[in-house]
Structure 1
Amino acid sequence: MIAYLEGKILSKEADGIILLAGHIGYEILLDTITLSMCMEKSQANETIALYIYYHVTDRQPKPVLIGFLTPDDKDFFQLFITVAAIGPMKAIKALTRPVPQVARAIEDRDTVFLSQLTGIGKRTAEKIVATLNGKVLAFAATQSPEPDPGPTEPTDFLPEEKQLMVSQVTEVLTEQLGHSGSSARRMIKQALEKNPGISSPEDLFDEIYQETR
């Protein structure tokens, strides 16, 4: 399965690009913002690096590649398509606003904003909020374009006595609450940087989710 590609844009398509990587042209779908940024990079003769969501189903036997500039954007997309009635093809067309803005609207229960996204009506906006509210807080902050840190990153800056606490909270966030690994790591790090005195899993959860209350 293809997860990452680097190369030059061979041509621009209606909903994406053909990326020339290793003498092979890959047809990749992009949201409108990512497409615009890729074209700017191409005009500056920069190499395009994309994290790929690989989509294939029984109904859609032809593989579809969907590209993202950061692991964060891909993680958000994978959460976004867990909403009923939003598949990958609908989701990529809907993301006409930056991920942090969409995530903030979800956390703020702003169905008016969400219903302005392409193909998202009021009822679907309500489903998005019902499914994802409380799960996308980490994406609402300004995101760094740096690659996703390794799985041990949240504990690199911690004293040993807090590492068990972080491991416990990470497990709950990912296994029980549906967050991606990178989202859980980011949420924990932000909470600990904001409140270094946290000493229990309960306090850490309170700090992580205080903005959603």
Structure 2
Amino acid sequence: MIAYLEGKILHKEADGIILLVGHIGYEVLLDTNTLSICMEKSQADETIALYIYYHVTERQPKPVLIGFLTPDDKEFFQLFITVAAIGPMKAIKALTKPVSKVARAIEDRDTAFLSQLTGIGKRTAEKIVATLNGKVLGFAAPQNSGSDLGSTNPQDFVPEGKQMMVRQVLEVLTQQLGHSASSARRMIKQALEKNPGINSPEDLFDEIYQETR
């Protein structure tokens, strides 16, 4: 199964790209934001790196590759398609807004915002909130744009490979221990800056509470 591709854009299509990897061209579907970023990178002659969701079913035996710029974007997509009546093809067309904003809308129960997504009506927006509310806080933009961190996603201040750990700690801090999202992000950021070698949720909690003693 294909999980990651890195190469140059051979051709732009309406809903994705043909990515040339070695001498093989892979047809990859992209959401509108990812497509725009990839085209900018291509114009700057940068290599395109994509994390791949591989979709194939008995009803659709032809493999479909869906690309994401970060592991977090791919993980959010995999959560998004757990909503009833939202399959991978519908989901990739629906994500016309940045993941951080969609996640924020889900956490805020903002069905009006979600209804603006392509193919998402009011009833589906309500299903999205009912299914995912409380599960996507780690992907969400801060409620206050003047956040202490000045960033919209954990990956903006977390080294690659530690996002999963940070999301786990962030959810415990906010949902179980009562910290605000901005306060939790600030504590995590300070702990990681003081001890960059942290590699587990337990070690991150230890460092956070050393800071707050």
Give the TM-score taking structure 1 as reference length: 0.74
SS of aligned partner of 2:177:
helix
Consecutive unaligned residues of structure 2, counting only runs of 5 or more, are 142-151, 182-213
Match of 2:200 in 1: none
Match of 1:88 in 2: 88
Consecutive unaligned residues of structure 1, counting only runs of 5 or more, are 154-181, 192-200
Alignment of 1:38-57 (within 5 A): 38-57=38-57
C-alpha deviation, 1:188, in angstroms: 3.7
Contact 1:41 1:48 (8 Å CA) reproduced: yes
Alignment of 1:59-98 (within 5 A): 59-98=59-98
Q: 1:51 to 1:72 in 2, by over 3 A?
A: same
Match of 1:187 in 2: 167
Match of 2:206 in 1: none
C-alpha deviation, 1:209, in angstroms: 7.7
CA distance in 2, matches of 1:208, 1:19: 45
Q: 1:12 to 1:84 in 2, by over 3 A?
A: same
The one-letter amino acid of 1:120's match is: I
C-alpha deviation, 1:207, in angstroms: 3.0
Match of 1:112 in 2: 112
Q: In the alignment, does 2:176 pair up with 1:206?
A: yes
Give the TM-score taking structure 2 as reference length: 0.74
CA distance in 1, matches of 2:32, 2:179: 31
Match of 2:17 in 1: 17
Contact 1:71 1:147 (8 Å CA) reproduced: no
Contact 2:174 2:180 (8 Å CA) reproduced: no
The number of residue pairs the alignment matches comes to 169
Alignment deviations for residues 10-59 of structure 1 (CA, whole Å, 9 cap, x no partner): 00011000000021000000000000000000000000000000000001
CA distance in 1, matches of 2:19, 2:178: 39
Percent identity at matched positions?
77
- Larger RCO (CA within 8 A; separation ≥ 6): 1
CA distance in 2, matches of 1:16, 1:102: 21
Alignment of 1:148-187 (within 5 A): 148-149=160-161, 153=162, 182-183=163-164, 185-187=165-167
SS of aligned partner of 1:96:
coil
CA distance in 2, matches of 1:139, 1:208: 18
